[in-house]
Amino acid sequence: MAKPAILTVDDEPAVSQAIARDLRRHYGAQYQIVRAASGSEALTVLTEFALRDRPIALIVSDQRMPAMTGVELLERSRRHAPEAKLVLLTAYADTDVAIKAINDIGLDYYLLKPWDPPEERLYPVLDDLLGDWQEAHVDDTGGVRVVGHRWSERSHELKTFLARNHVPYRWLDLERDDEARRLQDLARAATTDLPLVLVPDGETLRAPSTLQVASALGLRTRAEQPLYDLCIVGAGPAGLAAAVYGASEGLRTVVVEREAPGGQAGQSAAIENYLGFPRGLSGAELTHRAVAQARRFGAEMVLARDVVGFEPRGPVRVLRFHDGSEIEARAVLIATGVSYRVLEALGVEDFAGRGVFYGASAGDAQACAGEDVYVVGAANSAGQAALNLARFAQRVVLLVRSDALEKSMSRYLVERIVAADNIEVRLQSEVVAGRGEDHLEAITVADRGGDTKEEVATNWLFVFIGASPRTDWLGYDVARDEKGFVITGPDLLTHKDGPRWPLTRAPFALETSVPGVFAAGDVRLDSMKRVASSVGEGAMSVYLVHRYLATI
């Protein structure tokens, strides 16, 4: 396969040569470096590449060029290379133009000239951008293959697991793909063997559990050490932040995650309010970076394992898995976040994973290209999902129970939803039923005001109707409120059933009713339920773990 390309555009020969030289030195082995001396020449190159189906990974353009500015070129290049990362080279005086371009044309980054030394001012930025591009464009020949039925809940679960763990895979649909049927025949697979997961150089997995797939792929599914300083349950933003700080500050740290790192944030198409990312970043990007960072500091990551029991055993805190195996640690952080509430409507529960989805991943959005999609919910998560799905779907209908979207959704999202041509908002409406054969085919939408009901045909219903913590596994020892949120710090002393704190010292801020067990992020009572606050609490919990360990 031809290498993907990096295109540089500059009318000044000296600058053009210098940037091409620096790019070739660092990226020449993996990318073809192509130069253009003007905006129009660049558009010709982009057209040729598009016609030959050759990918452009990155376009780096100078802003000041005579006939067409860099911003104008980058905006026009979207038509030819919609997936390419866009970087503007600017002088200091053009900073305002560059910042505006982040909003207006989706500029990924602006670099001030000169970029010397490139090791500090050029490569780190481009490494990040190209890393993200590569992840979204993994060569889809080779690698893992999943063979199954389009409307199988288990196929959907496995694909989600692979995608969220950044494992490149190829989906082969038995209804649409000859290759899928050929592989099913070759494997002599019965219906009960589906989905098949074919791992290169590995055995053919038949209707495997997530744990079996994780093990076959070499993902770590067991803890290595007999005792840790800190065991973190849940690898969402709170858990990952704690892993980075814990491991970097010398604690033997293990993180246990039942699905995939990233938690709810991992499902977000664009997190726009996280400090330091003015253009926003996807949950997948944030997760990818956080996992790399935690691993670099030496945190152990145990995946596809659900913690189902907890027990304080003397000074040791014990976490238990389904198969009876355990992890022991001197301190524990509960960072298990919240899970979506289930939509209660006649027949809808029958189609979970077969047309009814809780949350939406990037892959889900592409799967509904050209179709009519319904989204239920009125909070930011529903708004983000509607915008993301609208990139592919023919039409997205957002069903909202209240009479105004502004009541529950941030203004920046409401404005974009209203401006989108293919998103329709239906206020005061709710889903009351779902129907279909082997997958969802229609839903009934009721108007809350006028008692009217309408059945509409759709294969896609995405549900975002709030979430609650699943903390039953903590047992009685760890105090929670009636909804299951974990009570921490001073709140333990004013608990309505009397104080739930056993020691004479006061509990630390994020400490639960069991000394040495902390809670951070969405699972904690009265937390802010945002990425930044979860990251902050995760980081802070490590400081408190150190203080706790000093007391025992």
Ligand X SMILES: Cc1cc2nc3c(=O)[nH]c(=O)nc-3n(C[C@H](O)[C@H](O)[C@H](O)COP(=O)(O)OP(=O)(O)OC[C@H]3O[C@@H](n4cnc5c(N)ncnc54)[C@H](O)[C@@H]3O)c2cc1C
Give the shortest CB-380-to-ligand X separation in angstroms.
Answer: 6
Q: What is the closest distance, in whole angstroms, from the C-beta atom of residue 247 to ligand X in the complex? A: 17
327 counts as binding ligand X under rule CB under 6 A: no
| Interface of this chain with ligand X, residues 360 to 379, rule: CB under 6 A | none
- Out of 183, 256, 333, 417, the only residue in the binding site for ligand X (CB under 6 A) is 256
How far is the C-alpha of 325 from the C-alpha of 14, rounded, in Å? Answer: 64
Q: How far is CA 236 from the centre of its chain?
A: 10
Count residues near ligand X (CB under 6 A): 39
Is 429 an interacting residue with respect to ligand X (CB under 6 A)?
no
**195 part of the interface to ligand X, by CB under 6 A:** no
Task: From 83-91, 166-174, 183-191, 380-388, give the range in contact with ligand X by CB under 6 A.
Answer: 380-388
Nearer to ligand X, 85 or 305 (CB): 305
Q: Which of 61, 77, 184, 267 binds ligand X (CB under 6 A)?
A: 267
Residues in the chain, total? 552
Our finding on whether 183 is near ligand X (CB under 6 A) is no
Token pair for 275: 């400090």
- DSSP characters over 146-184: EEE-TT-HHHHHHHHHHHHTT--EEEEETTT-HHHHHHH
258 touching ligand X, by CB under 6 A:
yes
Question: Which of 10, 94, 300, 522 forms a contact with ligand X (CB under 6 A)?
Answer: 522
300 binds ligand X (CB under 6 A): no
**Tokens 């000394």 -> residue:** 515
Q: Which stretch binds ligand X (CB under 6 A): 66-74, 259-267, 436-444, 485-493?
A: 259-267
Q: For residue 307, list its beta bridge partners.
A: 321
534 lines the binding site for ligand X (CB under 6 A) = yes
> Out of 184, 381, 429, 541, which residue is the one contacting ligand X (CB under 6 A)?
381
The reply to whether 233 sits near ligand X by the rule CB under 6 A is yes
Stretch that binds ligand X, among 27-35, 113-121, 135-143, 529-537 (CB under 6 A): 529-537
Asked if residue 235 binds ligand X (CB under 6 A), the reply is yes
CA angle (378 as vertex; 278, 357 as ends), nearest 5: 95
Binding to ligand X, residues 209-228 (CB under 6 A):
none
- Return the number of other C-beta atoms located less than 10 Å from residue 131's C-beta: 13
Identified binder of ligand X from the candidate list 307, 365, 400, 474, rule CB under 6 A: 307
Q: Which two tokens stand for residue 12?
A: 């000044």
| Residue closest to ligand X (Cβ) | 337
- Nearer of residues 201 and 472 to ligand X, judged by Cβ: 472
**Interface pick for ligand X out of 531, 540, 542, 545 (rule CB under 6 A):** 531
Q: Rounded to an integer, what distance in angstroms lies between the CA atom of residue 7 and that of residue 216? A: 39
* Three-class HEC string of 247-275: HHCCCCEEEEECCCCCCCHHHCCCECCCC
262: tokens are 């990233």
Q: Which residues, 6+ apart, have CB-to-CB distance to 42 below 8 Å?
A: 7, 9, 36, 59, 61, 73, 77
What span, in angstroms and rounded, lies between the C-alpha atoms of 527 and 515? 20
Among 88, 338, 356, 398, binds ligand X (CB under 6 A): 338
Tokens of 537: 């609490």
Among 4, 70, 195, 239, binds ligand X (CB under 6 A): 239
Residue 69 in contact with ligand X, rule: CB under 6 A: no
d(CA 304, CA 237): 17
165 neighbors 304 (Cβ within 8 angstroms): no
Residue 75: CB partners within 8 Å, gap ≥ 6? 104, 105
Amino acid found at 537: E
Q: What is the DSSP letter of 437?
A: S
Our finding on whether 388 is near ligand X (CB under 6 A) is no
Residues that bind ligand X (CB under 6 A): 233-239, 256-259, 263-265, 267-268, 271-273, 306-307, 335-338, 359, 380-381, 384-385, 473, 521-523, 529-532, 534
